[in-house]
Chain A
Amino acid sequence: MTDASLLSTPLTDLHRELGARLVPFAGYEMPVQYPQGIIAEHSHTREKAGLFDVSHMGQAWLVGPDFETTAAALERITPSAIAALKPGRQRYTVLLNETGGIVDDLMVSRPDGAENDGRLFLVVNASRKAVDYEMIAKSLPENVKLEPVEDRALIALQGPMAADVLKAHAPDAADMAFMAARSMEFDGIAVHVSRSGYTGEDGYELSVPAGAAEAIARALLADERVAPIGLGARDSLRLEAGLCLYGHDIDETTSPVEGAITFVLQKRRKEAGDFPGAERILKELEDGPSRVRVGFTLEGRAPAREGAEIRNSEGRTVGVVTSGGFAPTLGAPIAMGYVETSCADVGTRLTLVVRGRELPATVAEMPFVPQRYYRKPSA
């Protein structure tokens, strides 16, 4: 059944052909799983290579007269050292509101090539496109413009075999470092490639012309090591990797310190305190936040999901679960959520309340499954 109010991506017909179950997600009709099923798709990505359509995400250019001007414009609404980005490098950052809450988390890359001077490429969450674009546009000086990109698809190729698969079509991708971003050709088609992703595995995201997306996806899927992966496994993969899902694990009320993503704050910015909500964020860095995002392993098999209350050993409510489910790689349930800082030490025993029952849980290190990002062999 097709819901006419939902948007499609350049790959929607292909998903249907592959037998996907399509569900509404952030206003798009997206594949939640293929006939293989979520657990098999999850394992396939951890063992081989998975292809994800993430075209619903927002792609946009920030265009100014030169790099310094454009970077300075973006720094007004983020706590990261955007100006320190080197050509061909990408960084994870957040947009902040005036109280230091997270408006969105996003990837920013500085393209290589002299012709791209003054341009930054942004990839934002699908559900936050409208909010982000309005906020960014409002914050910009006269000489920097936001140009949302509507004619490109975004394809992620993730897993330990992703590099070897992509090499056959885009040889330039093979020696990219983690978080590198480069323009190159995929079978002769101009694409932007970044070595990054949302699974904890090595892999890439390819921004490709909408008209070429299906050909590129089919070329990758023709490799027997590649399987199509839906949003269901995308969620279980990112949860195992300890990565935040916007609107669940971080939102406009949570700061980067509470969200345990302080790595978005760089030294120069902390010293200058020149970002929205700096007063709160710097105070939290100094004194510790009142609550913080942590991971949980659970005893037994019952998963605890978003919204489950977290209690301490005295039965007092000390937090709430923001993401939770079954971790296929571990064969056990895991969760993440916010707890009072006094309960946040790894090893702290708490309970997660599911259907009125207290499930024993332990604060655990994240990621739950080791990240396997590509590290360049040293010369």
Chain B
Amino acid sequence: MSTRYTEDHEWITVDGDVATVGITNYAQEQLGDVVFVELPEVGRKVSKGDEAAVVESVKAASEVYAPLDGEVVGANDVLADEPGKVNEDPEGAAWFVKIKMSDAGQLDGLMDEAAYKAHLEGL
């Protein structure tokens, strides 16, 4: 399945029933230099819209929301020591969390790449 996006500038890729979530290149550009990422504990249950992570730039802290319901089954510990990876490779190595989805149907409510591009152009 292709990458999905949220209006809050998160990307989601799916492998089986596990969604990998990160922030988009647009998001990291807006944040500027990332200096700290706070990730959720593995095992935590999240609902769509919950605060799942916090990303801190030099200027400010921003929340990253869970795009789907489910259970956190992975957190990218690399970001603890190298938060700058979020600026370097936001849509690759700097993923934030893996969520085991409880309702894959929620994916249908997310944007595909074309819709996200249109969303960005409208900003």
Tell me, in angstroms, the Cα distance from A232 to B38 when the chains sit together: 22
**A234 to nearest B CB, angstroms?**
11
- Known contacts A32-B59, A303-B56, A305-B60, A326 near B35 by CB under 8 Å: yes
Chain A residues with CB below 8 A from B60, complex form: 305
**Contact in complex: A303, B36 (CB < 8 Å):** yes
**Contact in complex: B58, A328 (CB < 8 Å):** yes
Which residue of chain B is the closest to A332 with respect to CB atoms?
A: B35
Tell me, in angstroms, the Cα distance from A126 to B10 when the chains sit together: 36
Interface status of B78 (Cβ within 8 A of chain A): no
> 25 pairs across A/B with beta carbons < 8 Å?
A33-B32, A37-B32, A38-B32, A38-B57, A38-B58, A38-B59, A232-B32, A235-B59, A236-B58, A301-B35, A301-B36, A301-B80, A301-B83, A302-B56, A303-B36, A305-B61, A325-B58, A325-B59, A326-B35, A326-B36, A326-B56, A326-B58, A333-B35, A333-B36, A355-B38
- Known contacts A301-B80, A301-B83, A232 near B58 by CB under 8 Å: yes
Which residue of chain A is the closest to B83 with respect to CB atoms?
A: A301
Interface status of B54 (Cβ within 8 A of chain A): yes
Instruction: Produce 1/0 per residue, B24-43, CB < 8 A to A.
Output: 00000000110110100000
Instruction: Produce 1/0 per residue, A290-319, CB < 8 A to B.
Output: 000000000001110100000000000000
**Contact in complex: B36, A39 (CB < 8 Å):** no
**Contact in complex: B38, A302 (CB < 8 Å):** yes
Kindly identify, within residues 317 to 371 of chain A, every residue whose CB is under 8 Å from any CB belonging to chain B: 325-326, 328, 333, 355
Chain A residues with CB below 8 A from B38, complex form: 302, 355
Chain B residues with CB below 8 A from A302, complex form: 36, 38, 56
Chain B residues with CB below 8 A from A39, complex form: 33, 58
Which residue of chain B is the closest to A326 with respect to CB atoms?
A: B35
Tell me which of A232, A301, A328, A333 contacts B59 (CB under 8 A).
A232
Tell me, in angstroms, the Cα distance from A85 to B80 when the chains sit together: 51
Chain B residues with CB below 8 A from A37, complex form: 32-33
Instruction: Produce 1/0 per residue, A63-94, CB < 8 A to B.
Output: 00000000000000000000000000000000
Chain A residues with CB below 8 A from B80, complex form: 301
Tell me, in angstroms, the Cα distance from A33 to B61 when the chains sit together: 17
Which residue of chain A is the closest to B33 with respect to CB atoms?
A: A39
Chain A residues with CB below 8 A from B61, complex form: 303, 305
Interface positions of A (Cβ within 8 A of B):
32-33, 37-39, 42, 232, 235-236, 301-303, 305, 325-326, 328, 333, 355
**B94 to nearest A CB, angstroms?**
15
Tell me, in angstroms, the Cα distance from A38 to B31 when the chains sit together: 10
Chain A residues with CB below 8 A from B54, complex form: 355
Tell me, in angstroms, the Cα distance from A232 to B32 when the chains sit together: 10
Tell me, in angstroms, the Cα distance from A303 to B35 when the chains sit together: 9
**A321 to nearest B CB, angstroms?**
13
Chain A residues with CB below 8 A from B83, complex form: 301
Chain A residues with CB below 8 A from B56, complex form: 302-303, 326
Tell me, in angstroms, the Cα distance from A42 to B33 when the chains sit together: 11
Chain B residues with CB below 8 A from A325, complex form: 58-59
Chain A residues with CB below 8 A from B32, complex form: 33, 37-38, 232
Q: Which 3 A-B pairs have the closest CB atoms?
A: A326-B35, A38-B58, A39-B33
Tell me, in angstroms, the Cα distance from A305 to B56 when the chains sit together: 10
Tell me, in angstroms, the Cα distance from A305 to B57 when the chains sit together: 12
Chain A residues with CB below 8 A from B36, complex form: 301-303, 326, 333
Tell me, in angstroms, the Cα distance from A317 to B53 when the chains sit together: 26
Which residue of chain B is the closest to A233 with respect to CB atoms?
A: B58
Chain B residues with CB below 8 A from A303, complex form: 35-36, 56, 61
Which residue of chain B is the closest to A302 with respect to CB atoms?
A: B36
Tell me, in angstroms, the Cα distance from A39 to B57 when the chains sit together: 10
Which residue of chain B is the closest to A232 with respect to CB atoms?
A: B59
Tell me, in angstroms, the Cα distance from A213 to B39 when the chains sit together: 46
Which residue of chain A is the closest to B81 with respect to CB atoms?
A: A301
Tell me, in angstroms, the Cα distance from A284 to B60 when the chains sit together: 34
